[in-house]
């Protein structure tokens, strides 16, 4: 799931790049238009809301390792 904030252009670019699931915090009419385009490619668009667990890769030197570590830890469940 890629969070595109409120930027429909970013969401459309992500769809062109092959992203299959997006979150878009835009007015309902805009989100509906992007969702229709997404549906034509088999992708989905979710409204903003509680995003659940997320990984912010901003400034991460090794995103591949960060993703693997995050996925491993997320699959293991919450740390108490």
Q: What is the pLDDT of residue 43?
A: 95
**For the whole model, what pTM was predicted?**
0.64
Give the pLDDT score at 74. 73
pLDDT for residue 30: 94
How far apart CA 23 and CA 6 sit, in angstroms, is 9
DSSP assignment string, 16-65: HTT--EEEE-S-HHHHHHHHHHHHHHT-EEEESS---S----TT-S-HHH
Taking 50 as the pLDDT cut, the residues of the chain under it are 80
Distance CA 7, CA 29 (A): 13
How many whole angstroms separate alpha carbon 78 and alpha carbon 36?
Answer: 35
The residue ranges of every structural domain in the chain are: 2-49+56-75
């Amino acid at each position: 799931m890629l969070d595109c904030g409120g930027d429909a252009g970013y969401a459309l670019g992500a769809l062109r790049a092959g992203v299959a699931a997006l979150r878009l915090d835009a007015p309902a009419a805009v989100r509906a238009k992007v969702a229709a385009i997404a549906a034509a490619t088999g992708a989905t668009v979710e409204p903003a809301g509680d995003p659940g667990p997320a990984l912010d890769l901003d400034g991460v030197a090794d995103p591949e390792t960060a993703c693997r570590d995050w996925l491993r830890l997320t699959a293991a469940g919450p740390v108490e």
